[in-house]
């Protein structure tokens, strides 16, 4: 008998209770990251010594980025679950996500800010985008699991 066959034969049976639902700790951490990123970014804008139109530009990029990453996550998940997603919408979602990151990069590159301020805006922006994806995924997972429990 081969070694791997002996291992498989003597392997203890593990009962899994994992149902695919994200843990409360992960859900909470995702929300904390999203709120932290967004609030930090907005506090930074509020306290910045830039013109109001510049503040509006950076705030709009944050909103644009958050919406676009949620749209990408939804499109990817819809495709994964076999729901119809047009290639046009999927492409626009990715384009908008990349455009928001490029617009922030261009804005910060040309801004008259200290390097530490530029880094702060970049990091709080990226934290917000990543957390928005996680929150959207968690929301979708919880709803999916609850729907499965109700259906059967």
Taking residues 26-46, report their average pLDDT: 97
The whole-chain average pLDDT of the chain stands at 90
Confirm if 145 and 20 have CB atoms less than 8 A apart. Answer: yes
pLDDT more than 90, % of the chain: 76
Task: Please write the tens of the pLDDT for every residue from 105-138.
Answer: 999 999 999 999 999 999 999 999 999 999 999 9
Confidence label for 93 from pLDDT (cuts 50, 70 and 90): very high
10 Å CB burial of residue 138 (0-12, 13-18, 19+) is buried
Q: Is residue 152 scored above 80 in pLDDT?
A: no
């Amino acid at each position: 008998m081969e070694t791997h066959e002996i291992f498989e034969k003597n392997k203890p049976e593990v009962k899994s209770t994992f149902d695919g639902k994200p843990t409360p700790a992960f859900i909470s951490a995702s929300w904390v990251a999203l709120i932290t990123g967004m609030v930090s970014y907005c506090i930074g804008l509020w306290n910045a010594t830039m013109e109001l139109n510049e503040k509006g530009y950076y705030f709009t990029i944050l909103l644009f980025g958050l919406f676009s990453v949620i749209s990408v996550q939804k499109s990817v998940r819809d495709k994964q679950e076999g729901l119809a997603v047009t290639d046009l919408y999927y492409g626009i979602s990715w384009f908008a996500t990349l455009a928001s990151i490029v617009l922030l990069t261009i804005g910060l590159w040309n801004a008259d800010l200290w390097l530490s301020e530029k880094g702060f805006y970049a990091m709080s922006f990226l934290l917000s985008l990543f957390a928005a994806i996680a929150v959207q995924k968690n929301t979708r997972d919880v709803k999916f699991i609850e729907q499965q429990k109700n259906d059967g």
